[in-house]
């Protein structure tokens, strides 16, 4: 599937947002068409008041268009119930704002765990998840600080951690670096770039033309319409999600050496001298050990056999990548630990 184009995730057709009536009538968006492929990193620029925030709010289901059609993941938004919309927003969309929008009377860890309230997890679990993501943002030692005790850059990193905690596939960022110095802006951009390289879709509003180098597409808006729209990365070269790498597992047993190839979602559990391969795609009841060695000496070797090609291979891994890859590497490190 290397040259397959990514699916369309967002489709706006003739979207208008009107304010006021009669003489006072004005359009924040006017007959706006936009098709977004999964894996695009779009930067939106344009003068103040041209409709950038309105556009993000409509895409993020925070606001409704006056007319036009909006299809999200192939479904007409008009036909999605408000309950489903709220669920989709909580699970799939992460918002980052210029003013961070942290809740001032909640600690850092409480802020970050907030989106999980709708996840059904218990509070201790939610705080543990927030603790994990904060650790990877190097903010663990500030977990119990209040937002006002942090610098702007730190507050924005907390806000990004919060926007990522439910592992959304679409990130909407409204001038996320607008209130930051250039060093903090750079750190934030590195984080966003990492999230993007994992196949997520990012739409970001910015006033800073220097940041557009991170984008795969730059749209300039004027008076509620698209002025220019330039793609710098072809659709077929965008990063793709859900393309798990294959891992080859070798169980080196004296009697019965086994070699098998699994994808990175498969769980390999080592208990003493027993090895269980759990296929995560199967329901729990059907889970059965597929390979079990005798009670003899054995070793396990894990090798990556293929890796999906990154869209921008020159980019180095950073903290967020490590968080999001954590699940993948967990089983591998467990195996290493228990190697006998
Ligand atoms: N609630 C509102 N009532 C009336 N006009 C609004 C409202 N929100 C936004 N607008 C107008 O819509 C236009 C686009 O606003 P906005 O999307 O915030 O622009 P941008 O983010 O590009 O600065 C502006 O002219 C703004 O005044
Ligand atoms: Mg705005």
In this structure, how many other beta carbons lie within 10 angstroms of the beta carbon of residue 7?
A: 12
Q: Which residue has the higher pLDDT, 62 or 309?
A: 62
Distance from Cα 310 to the centre of ligand 2, integer Å: 32
Q: Considering only CA atoms, which residue is closest to atom 12 of ligand 1?
A: 28
User: Which has the closest alpha carbon to 229: 76, 59, 40?
Assistant: 40
Please give the pLDDT value at position 318: 45
Q: Which residues on adjacent β-strands are paired with residue 20?
A: none
Distance from Cα 60 to the centre of ligand 2, integer Å: 14
**Is the per-residue pLDDT at 288 higher than 50?**
no
Whole-angstrom distance, CA of residue 156 vs CA of residue 128: 20
Whole-angstrom distance, CA of residue 315 vs CA of residue 213: 13
Please give the pLDDT value at position 167: 86
Q: Which residue has the higher pLDDT, 257 or 219?
A: 219
Q: Which residue has the higher pLDDT, 338 or 21?
A: 21
In this structure, how many other beta carbons lie within 10 angstroms of the beta carbon of residue 81?
A: 8
Write the DSSP string, 196-244: HHTT-EEEEE-S-GGGGGG-SEEEEEETTEEEEEEESS-GGGS--SS-P
Spatial CB neighbours of 45, under 8 Å, sequence gap ≥ 6? 52, 205, 206, 207, 209, 212, 218, 219, 220, 221
Please give the pLDDT value at position 240: 82
Distance from Cα 206 to the centre of ligand 2, integer Å: 9
- Give the start-to-end residue ranges of the domains of the chain: 8-237, 246-307+310-338
Please give the pLDDT value at position 87: 86
Q: What is the pTM of this model?
A: 0.73
Residues with CB under 6 A from ligand 1: 19, 28, 46, 48-54
- Stated as kind and residue range, the H or E segment containing 253 is strand 246-253
Architecture of domain 8-237: 3-Layer(aba) Sandwich (3.40)
Q: Considering only CA atoms, which residue is closest to atom 10 of ligand 1?
A: 28
Residue among 51, 57, 63, 66 whose CB has most ligand 1 atoms within 8 A, to mutate:
51
Please give the pLDDT value at position 41: 97
Whole-angstrom distance, CA of residue 206 vs CA of residue 258: 53
Q: What would the pLDDT profile of 95-138 be if each residue is shown by its tens digit?
A: 999 888 999 999 999 999 998 887 788 999 999 999 999 987 88
Q: Which residues on adjacent β-strands are paired with residue 252?
A: 299
Please give the pLDDT value at position 285: 39
Average pLDDT over residues 234-261: 64
Average pLDDT over residues 56-70: 96
Please give the pLDDT value at position 166: 87
Q: Mean pLDDT over all residues of the chain?
A: 80
Average pLDDT over residues 222-234: 95
Please give the pLDDT value at position 90: 85
Please give the pLDDT value at position 205: 97
SS3 173: strand
Task: Report the range of poorest mean pLDDT among 113-117, 220-224, 297-301, 334-338.
Answer: 334-338
Distance from Cα 51 to the centre of ligand 1, integer Å: 6
Q: Which residue has the higher pLDDT, 50 or 339?
A: 50
Average pLDDT over residues 69-95: 91
Please give the pLDDT value at position 312: 38
Q: What would the pLDDT profile of 34-48 be if each residue is shown by its tens digit?
A: 999 999 999 999 999
Whole-angstrom distance, CA of residue 51 vs CA of residue 300: 57
User: Which has the closest alpha carbon to 264: 253, 278, 250?
Assistant: 278
Please give the pLDDT value at position 241: 72
Question: Of all residues in the chain, what percent carry a pLDDT higher than 90?
Answer: 52
Q: Considering only CA atoms, which residue is closest to atom 6 of ligand 1?
A: 19
Distance from Cα 40 to the centre of ligand 1, integer Å: 25
Instruction: Work out the burial of residue 195: count CB atoms within 10 Å of its CB; fewer than 13 is exposed, 13-18 middle, 19 or more buried.
Output: buried
Q: Which residue has the higher pLDDT, 102 or 4?
A: 102
Write the DSSP string, 15-60: EEEEES-GGG-EEEEEEEEEEEETT-EEEEE--TTSSHHHHHHHHT
Please give the pLDDT value at position 315: 39
Please give the pLDDT value at position 337: 54
Q: Which residue has the higher pLDDT, 294 or 97?
A: 97
Residue among 17, 20, 49, 205 whose CB has most ligand 1 atoms within 8 A, to mutate:
49
Q: Which atom of ligand 1 is nearest to the CA of 17?
A: 12
Question: Of all residues in the chain, what percent carry a pLDDT higher than 70?
Answer: 70
**Quick one: pLDDT band at residue 300, thresholds 50, 70, 90?**
low
**Is the per-residue pLDDT at 330 higher than 50?**
no
CA torsion sign for 128, 132, 137, 140 is: positive
Distance from Cα 51 to the centre of ligand 2, integer Å: 7
Residue among 46, 54, 56, 62 whose CB has most ligand 1 atoms within 8 A, to mutate:
54
**Quick one: pLDDT band at residue 267, thresholds 50, 70, 90?**
low
């Amino acid at each position: 599937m290397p040259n397959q184009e990514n699916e369309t995730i967002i489709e706006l057709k003739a979207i208008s947002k009107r304010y006021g009536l009669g003489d006072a009538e004005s359009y924040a968006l006017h007959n706006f068409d936009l098709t977004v492929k999964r894996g695009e990193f779009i930067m939106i620029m344009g003068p103040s008041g041209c409709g950038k925030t309105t556009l993000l709010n409509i895409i993020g289901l925070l606001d409704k268009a006056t007319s036009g059609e909006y299809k999200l993941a192939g479904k007409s938004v008009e036909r999605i119930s408000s309950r489903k919309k709220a669920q989709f927003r909580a699970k799939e969309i992460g918002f980052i704002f210029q003013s961070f929008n942290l809740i001032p009377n909640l600690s850092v860890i409480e802020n970050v765990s907030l989106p999980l309230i709708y996840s059904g997890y218990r509070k201790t679990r939610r705080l543990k998840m927030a603790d994990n993501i904060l650790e990877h943002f190097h903010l663990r030692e500030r977990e119990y600080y209040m937002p006002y005790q942090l610098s702007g850059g730190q507050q924005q990193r907390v806000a990004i951690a919060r926007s990522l905690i439910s592992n959304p596939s679409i990130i909407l960022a409204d001038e996320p670096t607008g209130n930051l110095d250039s060093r903090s802006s750079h750190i934030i951009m590195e984080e966003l770039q990492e999230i993007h390289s994992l196949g997520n879709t990012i739409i970001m509003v910015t006033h800073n033309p220097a940041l557009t180098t991170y984008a795969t597409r730059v749209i300039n808006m004027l008076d509620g319409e698209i002025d220019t729209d330039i793609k710098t990365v072809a659709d077929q070269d965008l990063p793709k999600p859900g393309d798990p790498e294959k891992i080859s597992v070798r169980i080196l047993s004296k009697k019965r050496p086994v070699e098998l190839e699994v994808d990175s979602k498969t769980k390999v559990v080592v208990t003493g001298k027993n090895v269980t391969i759990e296929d995560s795609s199967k329901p729990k009841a059907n889970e059965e050990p597929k390979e079990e060695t005798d009670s003899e000496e054995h070793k396990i070797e894990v090798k990556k056999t293929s890796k999906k090609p990154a869209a921008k291979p020159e980019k180095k891994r950073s903290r967020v990548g490590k968080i999001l890859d954590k699940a993948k590497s967990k089983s591998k490190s467990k195996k290493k630990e228990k190697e006998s």
